[in-house]
Structures are given as C-alpha cells and as structure tokens.
Amino acid sequence: MSPKALLSRLPVDPYVAAIIGMVGLATALPAHGGGAVVARYATNAAIALLFFLHGARLSPQAALAGAWHWRLHVVVLASTFVLFPVLGLGARALFWGLLTPPLWTGVILLCTLPSTVQSSIAFTSIARGNVPAAICAATASNLLGMGLTPLLVGLLLSAQGGFSARGAGDIVLQLLVPFAAGQLARPWIGNWALRHKTLLGLVDRGSILLVVYAAFSEGVTQGIWRQLSLADLGRLVAVDVALLAAVLVITTYGSRLLGFSRDDEVTIVFCGSKKSLASGLPMATVLLAGQSIGLIVLPLMLFHQIQLMVCAALAKRYANDGRSVDAPASRGEIAPAEP
C-alpha cells in the first residue's frame, strides 16, 4: 500500500495530525534565544507570503458575483461579524470564571474572524446548497475580514489590554500590503497560481504549521502547559462546542423564519458558522503581539477541528435529506448521480 493510500485510511486528517505534531515539537524542542528570533522572522515572512498568494489567487470579481442575492450575504456577514461576537461577549460575561483571561481573549478573537473559504464552499456543495452564493459569501467575508477583524479586536479587547496599539499598523504592513501586492501581480501570476493549486496549498498549510510552532514555542517558554490544566482544556472544548451549536441553531431556524429556500439555508448555515484558521493564526500573531499567543490561539485551533467534524456530519445529513428536493433544478444545475 502506498503512503498516500495509507494516510487516506487513517481516522485522523493528516493536516490535523501535522498541527498536533507541531504543538508536540514546540513542547519538546521550543525555539528560544537566537532560534526564537529566527522563528519570528520566518513566521513574519511566511505570513506575508501567505497573504500575497491569497491576493494573487483571489479575483476581485468573485466577491461581486451573485451580489444580487444581497439578503443572503447580509445574513452570513451578520452571523460572522455580529452574532459570533455577541455570543462570545455574552458567554464571557456570564461565565467569566470558567476560563482564564488569555483563553477568553482567544474566544473573543475567534468570534471576530472571517469565515473559511474552502470548507464553507465544500460543505455547501456536499449538502447540495447554493454553491455560487457560498463562493460569493465566503469570499466577501474574507475580504471584509481584512478590515473588520482588526477593528472588532480593537473595540472588544483594547479595554483589557488584549490589543496591541501597533496592531492596526502591523496589519497593514504584514497582511494588507502583501495582499494588495498579490492583487496587483494577478495579471502576471494569476494563471500560474490557478495552475499550481496543490503547490500553493502546501505553502498555505506550511505557513500555518510554522505559525503554530512559533506561537507554541513562545508559549512553552512562558510556561503555557503549567497554566493550562486538563480541566481548563475540557471547559474550553465545552465553550467551543456550545458556541458552534448556538450559531448552527440560530442560522438554521433564523434562515427559515426569514423565508430563505432550502438551498440558501444550507449556504447560510455553513458559511455563517465557520471561522478561518488560515486567517486567524496570522492575525493573532500580528494583532496580539506580546500576549500569550499560545494560549490565545488554542480556542481557535480547537474550534477549527470541532467545526470540521460537526459540519461534515451535518453536510451528509443535509445531502441525504435533500435527495428528494429540487435544489439543483432551482439553480439550473444538473443533479449529481446518486452513489
């Protein structure tokens, strides 16, 4: 059996295993001293490259495609940038003693992040939802998140010292400038980027792994595992699960009350409930410089895995329930063959 086939049979996603492996590597061999300086510069370079490639790949027209369905996009954006922060702030106010301050900072950061692109679209497609609208909604969320996330982090965390005063400038220099450079370079490298999605996907994931290693290296040197008990970890998982469950319930029944079709409900549920690990880790590194980054990004890392597992099961359920629904016909598509 080939290594690729063997990996495909493992019950754990290889990327999830790689992230866990980087946490283990940082725990056993954390970067410190000169190594920490090198890791910090390498991380900054990787973040800049990551957002440069995002800019090179992302067509500005994609955010405008399907803009006619403005009600759906408003609901998705409201779920991502309004509902999540309200739930996060409410949970922190009601259950302040449940988590440590750095973990609550991480929960609030999680609530301000944009939606994912790939998994939102993939799950919408599996569930036979409105895929064109999902592409537009997820893209718009990420484009707007470049500005909205730093603004929300500043508003929600500055009073508690969780937001670096230099964060706004750093987000421009380290994230927006490379992203804009990528957009400007699209006429020359856009087609190349589209032809090499696998290679660029490796760059994406490699950048995130480097960020994870650097963040947890810093956390280990600051005694992160002495600050986090198994009970703390269990409570954090419970908060993440409750947060995701609340959003899924609200987006599901809210979309029905607002009169959206079954297709659009699927899109709202999957695009409105996701949080981007790819954007969140770099943003945390830039926006919350000087904080306990290892602890702060832990809620996001756990939420990312939970949302993938829950939404994968939910997408399959939607797909099974929707086999008798004329969703493809409503979008002028050909229904996929039954397995």
| Whether the predicted pLDDT of 307 surpasses 50 | yes
Mean pLDDT of 167-189: 74
Query: Structure tokens of 240?
Result: 């993440």
DSSP label of 176: I
Q: Are 112 and 151 in contact (CB under 8 A)?
A: no
Q: Are 15 and 205 in contact (CB under 8 A)?
A: yes
Task: Express each pLDDT in 55-80 by its tens digit.
Answer: 787 666 654 555 567 889 999 999 99
Task: Express each pLDDT in 237-289 by its tens digit.
Answer: 999 999 999 999 999 999 999 999 999 999 999 999 999 877 787 788 777 76
Q: Are 312 and 119 in contact (CB under 8 A)?
A: no
- The per-residue pLDDT of the chain, averaged, comes to 78
Name the amino acid, one letter, at 80.
Answer: T
DSSP label of 322: T
| Whether the predicted pLDDT of 34 surpasses 90 | no
Task: Give the model's pLDDT for residue 7.
Answer: 47
Task: Express each pLDDT in 94-125 by its tens digit.
Answer: 999 999 888 999 999 999 999 987 678 778 88
What span, in angstroms and rounded, lies between the C-alpha atoms of 131 and 161? 41
Chain length of the chain: 339
**Burial degree of 300 (CB within 10 A; 0-12, 13-18, 19+):** buried
What span, in angstroms and rounded, lies between the C-alpha atoms of 141 and 153? 16
